[in-house]
Structure 1
Amino acid sequence: MYAEDELTLQDDDGRNDYRVPALFRGLLILQMFNAQTRTLSMNELAEGLGVTVSAIYRIVHTLTEMGYLRKLAKNTYELGPQVVSDGFSYLASRDLVDIAAPHLNALRDRTSLSCHLSIREQTDSLYIYRAFAAQRLSVNIPIGTRIPCHCTAMGRMLLTGLSPAALDALYQSVRLDDHPPPAPKTLPALRQMISDDRERGWVIHRSDYSTAIARGIYNHLGEVVAAINLSGPEAVMDGEVSREHFQQELAQTAEAISRELGGHRAG
């Protein structure tokens, strides 16, 4: 004799429905919580599923025992720590380059411009991936290249992830006046530049007849963990219509990569 959870049901079209009812309801319960709905009572859970409280009592109890729900008060629940632990353990196991590479390759193909991915190591922007546009005037920065953060578009986006206090601590012993404009020459100037970059959400940087536009990649806490750019000849990048198109393409790509990391932009 089969238990209820093992029954093979038929849907309205007469086709076999192999869903496990208890598992199906348990996952639906977890999906009922979101940024706007952080707590739910047992009655609200049952009402959301269109069933009685007794029909989901054992499911809710099991989810609570396993840490997927946390009981706050009598018959009131929120998502438990196991949801976050499982989700972000999986996300952390995926390499940033593996996630970003397909998106950057597609961005390069759509724009015919080179794309790069970098992370911050102290005051340097470290290039860890490139999608090279094979054209005569393409920007081609090799993987492993390190460039001071305050001198590049991606580096400046990486610095937006630091608080003003952390930025001051990082640069308190760093000499800034030996780099050409538009790199800031003083710590107060750097602080103001990064504050403006953070508020804008993107950076454009021109140098040596080329232009780069950068955006940040965010994790589940809204923290900047990497940056990507689109870079190409000044003549191609600096037209107003072209620049707006490239900014939109870059923004969509940064959002897609962040989403795969479970991330979002803070604020």
Structure 2
Amino acid sequence: METDDRYIVPGLVRGLEALQAFSNEKRELSVSELAEIIGVNRSSAFRVAYTLEHCGFLQKEENSRRYSLNSKVLELGFTYLSGLDLLEPSRPIMQRLRDQTTIACHLVIRQGTDIVFVDRYQSTGPFTSTVGVGTRWPAHATVTGQLLLSDMSDEAITELYQDYQWEAFTEDTPASLEALLARIREVRGQPALVSWGYFNPGMAACAAPIFRQSDGGMIASVSVSCPLGGIPREEFEGRIRDAVISAAQSLSRTLSLNNAHS
């Protein structure tokens, strides 16, 4: 998207970059670390952190000069998610899917060229999923992302990936627009996609689409994941895949009923 720099507020950009600097690996940051990540001097980083702390988005750890995200950041996320009308109706269906499969279940949406995990039910077996709510992965490299992209036209995908910096994670990752479009044409219209080490060489995953009944648009996906070998491949591509498809179809119908009654 083309932008006009005259309308950009540099301080706001730096504040948003500062919030995005925190992650599961970097839960706490000093002013010096923040300055290095967002590319400003220490004085500017301090003012950004101080402002965000004043507004409730950062908090300073007790007896420390390190900052961490405050709960007000979550309010923004929950406000957005509640507007999707997905979380509440999806939870009993996802919990049932997790109980049927015993492995981690996720609710996933697409934002631009990324997929975003917006809800999760942890597995009941020995494997603990490290994928948390808010995790972002590149859509082109994952079967979940390719599934969500498949609802777009080739023209829309071409525009979305204009000037995209391609990154390969395995030999199966599409490394160009042409390769991605070829892959999307292969998967378009399928009821589910299975990954057997496709994105993460040690993981299996399966995703199925959730549709908006009013216009048939794909709005999200339900997915499950576990380590390779946690479930035999034949069972994963059979029973597990069928359960994921059934859960996605059930949620699509539930959303339709909710909309009809609203």
Place the TM-score, normalised by the shorter chain, in its bin: 0.5 to 0.7
Asked whether the 8 Å contact 2:191–2:245 carries over to 1, the reply is: no
The residue aligned with 2:191 is 201
- Spell out structure 1 runs of 4+ moving beyond 6 A: none
Of 190, 213, 216, which residue of structure 1 is paired with 2:209? 216
Count of residues paired in the alignment: 172
- Of all paired residues, the percent bearing the same amino acid is 27
Which one of the candidate residues 167, 177, 185 is aligned to 1:187? 177
Structure 1: give runs of 5+ residues left out of the alignment: 1-91
How many Å separate the matches in 2 of 1:241 and 1:180? 24
Correspondence for 2:47: none
Given the superposition, is the C-alpha separation of residues 94 and 162 from structure 1 closer, same or farther in structure 2, using an over 3 Å criterion? closer
Amino acid of the residue matched to residue 154 of structure 2? Answer: P
Change over 3 Å in CA distance of 1:237–1:107 after alignment to 2: same
Q: Distance in 2 between matches of 1:239 and 1:118?
A: 23
Contact 2:170 2:201 in 1 (8 A): no
Residue in 2 that maps onto 1:250 = 244
Give 1:190 shift.
0.3
Alignment of 1:256-267 (within 5 A): 256-262=250-256
Return the match for 1:227 from 221, 224, 227: 221
* Residue 117 (structure 2) pairs with residue 131 (structure 1): no
Matched, 1:152 2:145: no
**Alignment match, 1:171:** 161
Match of 1:121 among 108, 111, 115: 111
**Structure 2 counterpart SS, 1:261:** helix
Q: How many Å apart are 1:258 and its aligned residue?
A: 0.5
For the residues of structure 1 that align with 2:148 and 2:249, how far apart are their CA atoms?
Answer: 15
Q: What's the CA shift string for 1:36-86, capped at 9, x where partnerless? A: xxxxxxxxxxxxxxxxxxxxxxxxxxxxxxxxxxxxxxxxxxxxxxxxxxx
| Deviation at residue 101 of structure 1 after TM alignment | 1.2
Q: Which has the larger displacement, 98-107 or 195-204?
A: 195-204
Q: Calculate the TM-score normalised by the size of structure 1.
A: 0.60
Task: Find the residue that maps to 2:250 and give its secondary structure.
Answer: helix
Q: How does 1:45-64 map to 2 (within 5 A)?
A: none
- Aligned AA (1:219): R
Correspondence for 2:37: none
